[in-house]
Amino acid sequence: RWVVMVPNVIPGERVRVAVFRNFNNYSEADLVTVLEPSPDRVVPHCPLAADCGGCQLQHVSIESQRRWKTTLVQEGLAQYGLTDVTVAPTLGTDQTYGYRSKLTPHYDAPAKQ
């Protein structure tokens, strides 16, 4: 399967792209138009969302962003063989814009015996 990396596209969408670079096992492309949008696509809050690095996910519904972030943590742990770890759903705030946040992972050390 050939992979094409395209910013601002949600998995499952049907899109038209312009490929600008090819590598051994994938290509990079720019989004030209969305032909069939995902149900998770929303109108970005910020008018600069498509161009600004700080607004990379504003075209994705907040619920979908949280599911995706939880999946990223699960997949990252699985790469290290940690498949039996329970990952809690990503929590958020009712205020979805106008704040900054960061991820700070915490863990409980195994009990000493």
Q: Is residue 43 part of a domain?
A: yes
For residues 43 and 81, state if they share a domain.
yes
Residue with tokens 């910013």: 7
Q: Is residue 69 part of a domain?
A: yes
Number of structural domains in the chain: 2
30: β partners = 18
Structure pTM?
0.75
Same domain, 29 and 43: no
Its domain, for residue 62, covers 39-88
Q: Note the pLDDT tens digit of each residue in 41-90.
A: 999 988 888 777 777 888 999 999 999 999 999 999 999 999 998 999 98
pLDDT at position 38 is: 97
Same domain, 48 and 7: no
Query: Is residue 96 in some structural domain?
Result: no
- Is 28 inside a domain boundary? yes
